[in-house]
Structure 1
Amino acid sequence: MYHAVGHRPAAAAYGLSVSPESFAEHMALLDANGFTPLTVRELGDAWRSARAVLPPKPVLITFDDGYEGVHRHALPSLVEHGFRAALFVSTGWLRGRYEEEGALDTMLDWDQVRELADAGVEIGGHSHSHPQLDQLDDGRLRHEVARCRELVADELGSAPASFAYPYGYSSRRVRTAVRDAGFAQALAVNNALASRDQGPYALRRVTVQRSTDIGRFERMVENRATFRDFARERALTRGYAVVRRSRSAVRLARPSREAAASRV
């Protein structure tokens, strides 16, 4: 899972960015070590088919949010190696007529998204305004997911099949909303490799960031990452999950309490 690719990304995007040189080095390692990149749609289709066989050493190369550097810096490396990938866009962050506030750095415009799609990059959904979906009420949750899918379909001519949860956060309610909107599979984070038994709406990924050196990257993709490689990320994820569940329970209960009070 990548985010921004650039030499000097904005401070808010820096930690989850990689330099163009590092990205090129990562792609060269995948190529030299015999990996076969797939789109998320291809992986989902294969795992739903009892007869499908994945290629040797399959890997997903994914980008979240929709930063401009994916087109400027990552696409040339992907094309050089003949690699497929997937880009998950927050449609309200992309430059153009649907643009809203909140983007952390320079984002793609829709022409660039179309060029990425034409180059074989799967375009998936990542919500409209990049909220924590599990903190939204049902109406806003449905809007964020459906609006994103609608805009991608309108701009590209076909509806996206895959979704990635903003911040990696989901819940049973969020996963149901994503499925009901028409997405066939969805990606979380969890800093672990994806496997078929996780189900199509909770597939895991590992995070590549500015601090990921080539040795750590190789351990990750070869499934040799140690507990120390992800100890900090996993501890933060577990702790914040408890906080988010508590916040969500309070937020979702508030309308019921207010409604009850109005009847007294």
Structure 2
Amino acid sequence: MYHAVGHRPAKAAYGLSVSPDAFAEQMELLGERGFTPLTTAQLGAAWRSGGGLPLPRRPVLITFDDGYEGVHRHALPVLAKHGFASTLFAATGWLQGPYDEGGALGTMLDWDQVRELAAAGMEIGGHTHTHPQLDQLDDSRLRYETVRCRDIVADELGAAPVSFAYPYGYSSRRVRRAVRAAGFAQSLAVGNALALPRQGPYALRRVTVRRGTGIEEFEQLIVGRSIARIFAKDRALTKGYALVRRARWAGGLLGGVRG
């Protein structure tokens, strides 16, 4: 899971960014180790086929959340060099253009660039419209965020997106139902673990690549070693915050806030 790719990203996006040189080195390592990148749609279709669509020996997803401009400027040439597939999950209200509602944490793609990414073979998935915490929304706003995003991508690219990623990784059973109802066939969380079929198509996990992820740590991540140790603090914080979020949601229901 990548976000911004750039030399000097905005401060708010810095921690979850990678430098262009680091990204190039990481992609080089994937090639050297014999990995075959897929789109999220290809992985979902293969797992739903029950073996009818076999996966390559070492499949991997390369995903980008939000829609930062550096994906086009820096990541695309590297991906093209290796012939790697990937998926961009676009927050449509953050991208530059007629739907921009502000709130983006850095310089974002415009729709011409998104179309160029799609033409180059990158899958364009949904990431909501305004990048909210979906599990804290009422049902009406939850539907708006998923459907509005889907419709804008369909209008701009000529085909509805089939893959989705939850902003911040936050979801719940209710959120997953809404994503499915909006027409998405699979969705990615975070979880900082390898994706497995048993997680179900709407809760597939990913590992986070950060500014501080060195090449040795990156290699451990892609081969599935030391993930629990590397993300031990993240997982502890996530479990604790999940309890807070459920309590917050329940409090809203009791107070008559939710729709």
**Matched residue SS, 2:255:** helix
Map 1:104-123 → 2, pairs under 5 A: 104-123=105-124
Alignment match, 1:262: none
Structure 1 residues 122 and 256: CA distance shift in structure 2, 3 A: closer
Whether contact under 8 Å (2:192, 2:227) holds in the other structure is: no
Map 1:218-229 → 2, pairs under 5 A: 218-229=219-230
**Matched residue SS, 2:65:** strand
> 1: CA distance between counterparts of 2:190 and 2:99?
27
TM-score w.r.t. length of structure 2: 0.98
Letter in 2 for 1:186: S
CA deviations over 1:48-71 (Å, ceiling 9, x no partner): 002221001000000000000000
Percent sequence identity over aligned pairs: 70
Letter in 2 for 1:221: I
Alignment match, 1:77: 78
Structure 1: state its 5+ residue gaps.
Answer: 260-264
CA deviations over 1:218-264 (Å, ceiling 9, x no partner): 0000011243211111111111111111111112332279x9xxxxx
CA deviations over 1:121-155 (Å, ceiling 9, x no partner): 00000000000000000000000000000000000
> 2: CA distance between counterparts of 1:252 and 1:142?
18
Alignment match, 1:64: 65
TM-score w.r.t. length of structure 1: 0.96
Alignment match, 2:193: 192
- What's the RMSD between the two structures over aligned residues? 1.2
4+ residue runs of structure 1 moved beyond 4 angstroms?
none
Alignment match, 2:202: 201
Larger radius of gyration: 1
Structure 2: state its 5+ residue gaps.
Answer: none
> 2: CA distance between counterparts of 1:249 and 1:101?
29
Alignment match, 1:19: 19
Shift of 1:208: 0.3
Shift of 1:87: 0.2
Alignment match, 2:168: 167
Whether contact under 8 Å (2:193, 2:227) holds in the other structure is: no
Deviates more, 1:2-11 or 1:49-58: 49-58
**Matched residue SS, 1:159:** coil
Alignment match, 1:251: 252
Alignment match, 2:45: 45
**Matched residue SS, 2:256:** helix
- The number of aligned residues is 258
